[in-house]
């Protein structure tokens, strides 16, 4: 079968599943099948379960994004940026055992450099940095 994916590759896969699912309105399972076919993307059970877990927390994650996004309301943030922010916040809040908060911020910035507009990485870094400082996770 295929080789073991890195954490970064899994995270990027989760991001792509979430983004495609949000744009298409199709559930994660069907989105995974479509991504495997259309993009020849290796989708793992971990990607699917993580994407579903993040999706279940959208309301909570969007509320946090709204609190820390000073310049833009959540509904005015691009789908790419919202997806990156949701995934990073999920990792910070629910997966801090597998990635330190600053690591999640760095990974989010890297995703934004690859998939978002050039200036968006500082926007994402700002929101996530403000959040981890406010909740005391910046020292972790």
Q: What is the pLDDT of residues 90-130, one digit of tens each?
A: 999 999 788 899 999 999 999 999 999 989 999 999 999 99
Q: Are residues 92 and 116 in the same domain?
A: yes
The verdict on 61 and 120 lying in the same domain is: yes
How many domains are contained in the chain? 2
CATH number of the domain that residue 84 is part of: 1.10.940.10
Domain holding 116, by residue range, is 57-140
pLDDT in tens, 62-82: 999 999 998 888 999 999 999
Q: Are residues 82 and 138 in the same domain?
A: yes
pTM: 0.92
The reply to whether 137 and 82 lie within a common domain is yes
* One domain for residues 39 and 76: no
69 plus 112 within the same structural domain: yes
Name 138's Cβ contacts closer than 8 Å, sequence gap at least 6: 101, 102, 129, 132
Domain match, 69 and 132 both: yes
Tell me what the mean pLDDT of segment 30-48 comes to: 88
Q: What is the pLDDT, as a whole number, of residue 139?
A: 63
65 and 111 housed in the same domain: yes
């Amino acid at each position: 079968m295929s080789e073991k994916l890195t954490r970064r590759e899994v995270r990027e896969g989760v991001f792509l599943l979430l983004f495609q699912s949000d744009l298409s309105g199709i559930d994660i399972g069907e989105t995974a099948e479509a991504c495997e076919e259309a993009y020849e993307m290796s989708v793992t059970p971990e990607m699917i379960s993580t994407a579903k877990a993040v999706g279940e927390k959208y309301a909570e994650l969007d509320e946090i994004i709204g609190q820390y996004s000073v310049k833009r309301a959540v509904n005015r943030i691009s789908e790419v940026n919202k997806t990156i922010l949701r995934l990073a916040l999920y990792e910070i809040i629910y997966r801090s055992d597998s990635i330190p908060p600053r690591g999640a911020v760095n990974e989010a910035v890297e995703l934004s450099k690859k998939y978002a507009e050039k200036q968006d990485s500082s926007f994402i870094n700002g929101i996530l940095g403000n959040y981890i400082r406010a909740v005391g996770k910046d020292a972790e």
